[in-house]
Amino acid sequence: MIPINKPAIGEEEKNAVLKVLESLQLTDSSFEGGKFVREFEKIFAEYVGVKHAIAVNSGTSAILAALMALEVGKGCETLTSGFTFASTATTSLLLDARVKFVDIELETYSISVNDLARKLSGAAKVVLPVHLYGHPAQLDEVIEEAEKYGVFVVEDAAQSLGSKYRGKMTGSLGIMGCFSLYATKIVTCGEGGVITTNDDALAEKLKMIRSHGQVKGYDSKVLGLNLRMPQIEAAIGIEQLKKIDSFIKARRKNALFYNEEFSKLENIRLPIEKDYAEANWSIYTVYVKRRRNEILQYLRERGVGATVYYPIPLNRMEVFMKHVEFEPLPNCEDAAEHVLSLPVYPTLTEKELNYVVKVFKEAIRTFL
């Protein structure tokens, strides 16, 4: 089986883990974090082009901490795409805030600025645009609409580390950016997350929030949780960040190869890169006009680990139907019914790439 994704772990990451184990400093609850966490944060901030990077234990924790730092809670409203992973919105519900879903553009699967403008109001506190599949949302327009109401923009950059919007890294344009370092991401720590910001006060607050609101220890000043990144994760992340440019270069090469090979197939829509974007190709996603599930089954039966990100739009997911006022999202629902993703990770061999192309072409010609 060619999996949908595969972490690129080398001897460097293994040696980094051993170095932490030998130090016996597996975690650090101090305000600034341990040695490896501090080094990782420094490298991450420099890469994204921001003043601060605050490491936490997951991408979900990154969003949760960002919202807590902005004091999102009862009486607040957050808006985000209805086509994304659940945690972009469940984090708001956990803080007792209201959630409103916004439809997407089918070209990029990013938040629709027109629908956002229609739904924004004085009740809103935060907008979370999602750079889905690694393609940046239209941040200038999103920020412009948000500023009309004094609304914060927190980028859900979970899938977009290394992607650029008009030459600037995602995660550097909103008040904060939230990244995931899960095993399927561009770089991984196994689990892990990072919040980026240029705001000094928010950075200080985030460091408190990630460790029970403490500064010196046993002196909680704000509400917080244990959201800390362990030293082992940070050590892995340091080595991964050294390789990120080569990872993205390989992903871009693989995505271009697919687009060239699939360009003459009918009844599908290939992923694009808008002129304002430089995507990291975190996920390679194709829109098929019909019989998506049969095509998916055909691929999997022949050893291609294709999958669907995401089969249920958030407005129709059970957890949100219990807590969020329902509103149809035509493009989100359309995408959920028609998209499928193919392996595009950097360690794919030429043989594997050609096999994916062969089987996908067979599937499309068989079912479409």
Kindly state whether residues 228 and 312 are assigned to the same domain. Answer: no
Q: Strands of 176-180's sheet, edge to edge?
A: 52-56, 193-197, 176-180, 152-156, 124-128, 77-81, 98-102
pLDDT of residue 60: 98
Instruction: Tokens for 182, please give them.
Output: 């899960």
Kindly state whether residues 25 and 163 are assigned to the same domain. Answer: yes
Instruction: Give backbone dihedrals phi and psi of 45, rounded to 5 degrees, phi first.
Output: -60, -40
Whole-angstrom distance, CA of residue 170 vs CA of residue 139: 9
In a domain, 132, yes or no: yes
Which amino acid makes up residue 155?
E
Kindly state whether residues 81 and 230 are assigned to the same domain. Answer: yes
Burial class (CB in 10 A: 0-12, 13-18, 19+), 297: middle
In a domain, 5, yes or no: no
In a domain, 250, yes or no: yes
Kindly state whether residues 189 and 287 are assigned to the same domain. Answer: no
pLDDT of residue 129: 98
Domain boundary among 241, 257, 287: 241
Kindly state whether residues 254 and 230 are assigned to the same domain. Answer: no
In a domain, 1, yes or no: no
pLDDT of residue 71: 98
pLDDT of residue 288: 98
CATH number for the domain that contains residue 189: 3.40.640.10
In a domain, 50, yes or no: yes
Kindly state whether residues 310 and 190 are assigned to the same domain. Answer: no
Whole-angstrom distance, CA of residue 149 vs CA of residue 121: 7
Kindly state whether residues 271 and 206 are assigned to the same domain. Answer: no
Tokens 């659940």 belong to 86
Domain that holds residue 286: 244-367
Kindly state whether residues 279 and 335 are assigned to the same domain. Answer: yes
Kindly state whether residues 75 and 154 are assigned to the same domain. Answer: yes
Domain boundary among 241, 256, 290: 241
In a domain, 178, yes or no: yes
Kindly state whether residues 185 and 331 are assigned to the same domain. Answer: no
Number of domains in the chain: 2
Radius of gyration of the chain (CA): 20
Q: Considering only CA atoms, which of 228, 233, 236, 239 is closest in space to residue 28?
A: 228
Kindly state whether residues 220 and 258 are assigned to the same domain. Answer: no
CATH number for the domain that contains residue 360: 3.90.1150.10
- One digit per residue, the tens of pLDDT, for the chain of length 368 reads 999 999 999 999 999 999 999 999 999 999 999 999 999 999 999 999 999 999 999 999 999 999 999 999 999 999 999 999 999 999 999 999 999 999 999 999 999 999 999 999 999 999 999 999 999 999 999 999 999 999 999 999 999 999 999 999 999 999 999 999 999 999 999 999 999 999 999 999 999 999 999 999 999 999 999 999 999 999 999 999 999 999 999 999 999 999 999 999 999 999 999 999 999 999 999 999 999 999 999 999 999 999 999 999 999 999 999 999 999 999 999 999 999 999 999 999 999 999 999 999 999 999 99
pLDDT of residue 235: 98
In a domain, 3, yes or no: no
Kindly state whether residues 183 and 115 are assigned to the same domain. Answer: yes
Domain boundary among 241, 256, 284: 241
Q: Which residues pair with 182 in a beta bridge?
A: 190
pLDDT of residue 313: 98
